[in-house]
Amino acid sequence: MLSTADALATLLGAAAQIAGKETLPTLEAINRVLAADVISPLDVPPMNTSSMDGYAVRVSELSQGERRLPISQRIPAGHAPQPLAEGTAARIFTGATVPPGADAIVMQEQTEAAGDEVTILHTPKAGEWITQQGADIRKGATILPAGTRLTPQALGLAASVGCANLEVVRRVKVAVFFTGDELTMPGEPLKPGAIYNSNRFTLTGLLQKLGCDVTDYGIVPDKLDATRTTLRDAAQGHDLILTCGGVSVGEEDHVKPAVEAEGRLSMWQIAMKPGKPLAFGAIRRTAAPDAHDTGSNETFFIGLPGNPVSSFVTFLLFVRPFLLRLAGVRTVTPRALSLRADFTQRKGDRRNEFLRARVNAAGGLDLFPNQSSAVLTSTVWGDGLIDNPPNHAISAGETVRFIPFSELLN
């Protein structure tokens, strides 16, 4: 079995950014991945601006002792000022352009205004309360590199330099299906021996959250021919086929032999708990590639285990970074925290464990009492995963590596 580090390296080593780009209005580009650098065509701010409501003055005139000045103009934000007349002050508001000749702003709380005159009660330093042109962004600077996943603040940054449209990588196309004759959809009667298909909802939701274009082939019967047929169909027009269940070694587990018959399998089984039976490979395409395809004659394949926690955890640790890399995201490693374990686990597993835990009011970690791969409750209760090395017992007070779900779901 591969270690988790080697397995992830295998996946990311195979992933390359998909071909195909599109231009979207900046307002519609949330969560998409930039296909080209965003380079600022201007300084931000594009002029010197006031960062306070107050009065624009010449420091040299105040240093000569003159404190009572006539108000020569009023400058709201968005209006072009006149040069500051000698021996005067200009009433100015936050965000307004500093008039030529002024070199400081005195905030209004440090002045006394009477009619068309103002008394300055404070001697400012040159540049006081002035935001200099280009203080945030310089013209020609790369403000968002290609490969950036566009957050709300990134869209705001692009808009701040006047970008009405952005060039982004097309959505990754993922085909997904689920195997198991025991699976039943919610709303249908639950027959003896059957279970509801929670994985379909969890995995489809995760794919949608990552911005994928999802084709759901539903539940496929536990038959080799049916599995092979679905794999062949799903290989056409998709970048990745994602399956859930049927990747173990039982007589009713047909995904592994189906993949080997329709393509290739380059990885199977990882030394981790939960989630040992994870498969990676590719399925041959029989149709000519469309305009969005990379030109490859294969579609990537990842098979997840059927237990709900196992499929959830393996998706977050392996499928998520693989999909992000296909979409062109450069940094795909989630940030981990070093936190205190407020529990004791006296025996470690021979595999790399990923334990569901949550942060308590004291800033330590509590462990969910049942770490079974079938207990989906733990994924809702928890705040993230403790990455516990093989054969390592955990003592209360020990510092452990914790990966928050907020990072893994981002």
Give DSSP secondary structure letters for 20-42: -EEEEEGGG-TT-BBSS-EE-SS
Widest distance between CA atoms in the chain: 95
Structural domains in the chain plus CATH codes: 4-19+170-326 (3.40.980.10), 22-42+138-169 (3.90.105.10), 49-131 (2.170.190.11), 337-408 (2.40.340.10)
| Per-residue model confidence (pLDDT) at position 286 | 85
3-state secondary structure of 169: strand
Tokens 């928890």 map to which residue?
382
Cis peptide before 389 (omega within 30 of 0): no
- Give the contacts of 361 (CB within 8 A, at least 6 positions apart): none
Residue 61, judged by CB atoms within 10 A of its CB (0-12, 13-18, 19+), counts as middle
Q: Alpha helices, DSSP H only, in 214-372?
A: 224-235, 255-262, 308-314, 320-326
Residue 108, judged by CB atoms within 10 A of its CB (0-12, 13-18, 19+), counts as middle
Cα–Cα distance between 386 and 299 in angstroms, integer?
33
| Per-residue model confidence (pLDDT) at position 290 | 55
State the DSSP code for 319. Answer: I
Q: Alpha helices, DSSP H only, in 161-277?
A: 198-209, 224-235, 255-262
| Per-residue model confidence (pLDDT) at position 293 | 52
As averages over each run of 10 residues, the pLDDT of the chain (410 residues) reads: 94 95 97 97 97 97 84 97 97 98 97 96 96 97 97 98 98 94 87 90 96 94 92 96 78 80 92 92 80 71 94 97 96 96 95 98 98 95 97 97 96
- Name the nearest CA neighbour of 398 among 353, 368, 364, 363: 364
State the DSSP code for 135. Answer: S
Give the DSSP H/E element, type plus range, for residue 10. helix 4-14
What is the separation, in whole angstroms, between the first and last Cα of the chain? 29
Number of neighbours of residue 385 by Cβ within 10 angstroms = 24
Side chain identity at residue 30, one-letter code:
I
pTM for this entry: 0.88
Side chain identity at residue 96, one-letter code:
A
Cα–Cα distance between 7 and 171 in angstroms, integer?
25
How far are the Cα atoms of 107, 113, 130, 285, 303 from residue 110, in angstroms, in the given order?
A: 6, 10, 16, 74, 68
| Per-residue model confidence (pLDDT) at position 288 | 57
